[in-house]
Amino acid sequence: MNHKLKAFIFILLLFIPTYLAVASYIGSQDASIEDSRAVVRMSILDPDGGTYVFTPNSEGEDAEQQNKEAAAEIAFLTSLNKNAVEQEAMPDAIADSRTFTVTYEGFNRSSVYEYYFTDDPGAAFFRDPDGVIYKITSEDASAFLCKDYAACLYNGSVYPVLTIGGATVMPQELNWRYQLFNGTYRPLDTETTDEMHNYRMNARLSLSFNLEPDVIDITVYDGDEIIYKDNYANLNQISITEQKQLRFHIESKWYEVDGKEGQGEAVYDFMATVNAPASFYLNTTTITNGEFCIITVKDKPEDADILFTAEPDLGGFEPKFVEDGDYYRALVPVNYSNPAGIYTFTLSCDGVTQELVLNVAEYAYKEASMTVSQSVIDATRTEATLASYDEIMTPVAKSLNIATDHLFEGTFLTGAPDVAQIRAGYGRIRVINGGASYQNPGVVYMVSEGHEVSAVNNGVVIYVGETDLSGVTVVVEHGLGLKSWYKNLTEAVVEVGDTVNKGDLLAYSGATGFCDMASVQIDLTVFDVPVCPYTYQETPVLFNNP
Q: Are residues 114 and 75 in the same domain?
A: yes
Q: In terms of domains, do 343 and 409 share one?
A: no
Output the pLDDT for position 26: 42
Is 533 part of any domain?
yes
- 119 and 216 in a single domain? The answer is no
pLDDT band at 400 (very low <50, low <70, confident <90, very high): very high
Q: State the pLDDT at residue 33.
A: 63
pLDDT, mean of residues 113-135? 94
Based on the fold, state whether residues 142 and 180 are members of the same structural domain.
no
Q: What is the pLDDT of residue 544?
A: 84
Identify which has the larger pLDDT, 129 or 242: 129
State the average pLDDT for the chain. 91
Distances (CA, A) of 326 to 88, 322, 390, 464, 546: 74, 11, 36, 33, 10
Q: Does the structure show a pLDDT above 70 at 194?
A: yes
Task: Choose one of 232, 250, 274: the last residue of a domain.
Answer: 274
192-206, 310-324, 519-533: the lowest-pLDDT one: 192-206
Residue 52, C-beta contacts closer than 8 angstroms, at least 6 positions apart? 43, 44, 46, 148, 149
Residue 387 lies in a domain: yes
Helices (H) and strands (E) in the chain, counts: 7, 38
Using pLDDT thresholds of 50, 70 and 90, give the confidence band for residue 233.
Answer: confident
pLDDT of residue 32: 56
Look at the chain and report how many structural domains it folds into.
5
CATH number, domain with residue 502: 2.70.70.10
Q: What is the reported pLDDT for 212?
A: 92
Pairing mode, if any, of strands 482-492 and 286-288? unpaired
Indicate whether this model's pTM tops 0.85. Answer: no
* 42 neighbors 103 (Cβ within 8 angstroms): yes
- Determine phi and psi for 144, rounding to 5 degrees: -60, -45
Instruction: Using CA atoms of 68, 70, 75, 77 in order, give the dihedral in degrees to the nearest 10.
Output: 160
Q: Give the tens place of pLDDT for each residue, 426-469.
A: 999 999 999 999 999 999 999 999 999 999 999 999 999 999 99
